[in-house]
Copies of this chain bind each other. A is one copy, B any other.
Amino acid sequence: MSLLVVGTVAFDAIETPFGKTDKIIGGAATYISLAASYFTNNIQLVSTVGDDFPAEMIEELNKKGVSSEGLQIHKGQKSFFWSGKYHNDMNSRDTLATELNVLETFDPILPDSYKNPEFVMLGNLTPSVQKRVIEQLENKPKLIAMDTMNFWMDIALDELKETIAMVDVLTINDEEARQLSGEYSLVVAAKKIIAMGPKYLIIKKGEHGALLFNNQDEAFFASALPLEEVFDPTGAGDTFAGGFMGYLASTKDISFDNMKRAIIYGSAMASFCVEKFGTEKLMDLNDLLIQKRIKQFVDLVQFEISLSDK
């Protein structure tokens, strides 16, 4: 089934305790598309780049089933650039540079062939831009998911709430869930956020895993895989979302039980992402590696318990 992906396609320069990169390819929509491409080959990308963005990367995406018809390439302009440095705990980071460039005037125009997707993943962007995407859809998709961040809660809360009310799934991290709800308990926070409109909330806790809540008071928790080495956390949340939505799009099943599986697939994809800098690890995975990784998740968390065995 078709998956519409909207978000940044960009350059990053990253410094972690393990090393430092020059300008490498990044951007939420890049990570989302790459992760989803292991599940579905019908991905419609909407984004914006300058003519400094390498044609080879666009070809790579095309080969992986990602249509670039909706990728705007602006002659004589530069792609969005972000640079950041992670602290020793890898959980916090300082932004060293943000150059919006083409992103400043980004209008997410959907080609006609993109207007009837069955699944939509809106990467982190100005909430009004995310909303503009939804407004161009001709039919109600099976599922619209959006990611956002604390920055929009600080400067565009009303706009953000409007957009949140239009989607089915919201993905944010634990601190953002607390900020958006004003509640410390994630259980209470989830209830308040779901009351804002989305049927599902995914709270990403990084190395501590992810929580899925629905509007029926059901909850699911997926551990992150404890890794020997986390090399670069950049893009892990987007990769998670890409795996999650790619799996849902490939199985065409949005039951809560299937969403649980999708969370596990998303977590597996994120666990690969952080093992190398940038998108490197996502470029050449395969089904066998993914299945092996899923098996590790199963082994890590599954247990047999009889409710009368004590």
Q: Could you tell me which A residues sit within 8 Å of B by CB distance? A: 39, 88-90, 184-188, 205, 208-209, 211, 218-223, 226-230, 247, 250-251, 257, 260-261, 264-265, 287, 290-291, 294-295, 298-305, 307-310
Contacts and interface: CB of A to CB of B under 8 A. Distances in A.
Contact of A187 (B188, B211, B228): B228
B221 A223 contact: yes
Given A208-B208, A219-B226, A219-B300, 14 more contacts: A39-B310, A90-B184, A185-B227, A185-B229, A187-B227, A218-B299, A219-B299, A220-B301, A222-B303, A250-B310, A291-B310, A295-B307, A298-B307, A301-B301
Given A208-B208, A287-B310, A303-B257, A186 B298 contact: no
17 contacts: A89-B184, A185-B226, A185-B229, A188-B229, A205-B208, A208-B209, A220-B303, A221-B301, A222-B301, A222-B303, A251-B310, A260-B303, A261-B304, A261-B309, A264-B305, A298-B305, A302-B302
Contact of A308 (B251, B291, B299): B291
B220 A310 contact: no
Contact of A228 (B185, B220, B261): B185
Contacts of A228: 185, 187-188
Contacts of A247: 310
Interface centre among A185, A226, A264, A298 (most CB of B within 10 A): A226
Contacts of A290: 310
A298 B261 CA distance: 15
Contacts of A294: 305, 307
A299 B213 CA distance: 12
Identical chains in the assembly: 2
A261 B303 contact: yes
A227 B188 CA distance: 8
A209 B221 CA distance: 11
A261 to B, nearest CB: 5
A90 B185 CA distance: 11
Nearest to A208: B208
Contacts of A184: 88-90
A310 to B, nearest CB: 6
> Which of A226, A303, A304, A305 counts the most B-chain CB atoms under 10 A from its CB?
A303
B303 A264 contact: yes
Nearest to A203: B226
A140 to B, nearest CB: 26
Given A303-B260, A303-B261, A307-B291, A226 B211 contact: yes
Nearest to A88: B184
Given A187-B227, A247-B310, A220 B304 contact: no
Shortest 9 CB-CB contacts between residues of A and residues of B: A260-B303, A208-B208, A221-B223, A187-B228, A187-B226, A221-B300, A291-B307, A261-B305, A186-B226
A51 to B, nearest CB: 37
B209 A223 contact: yes
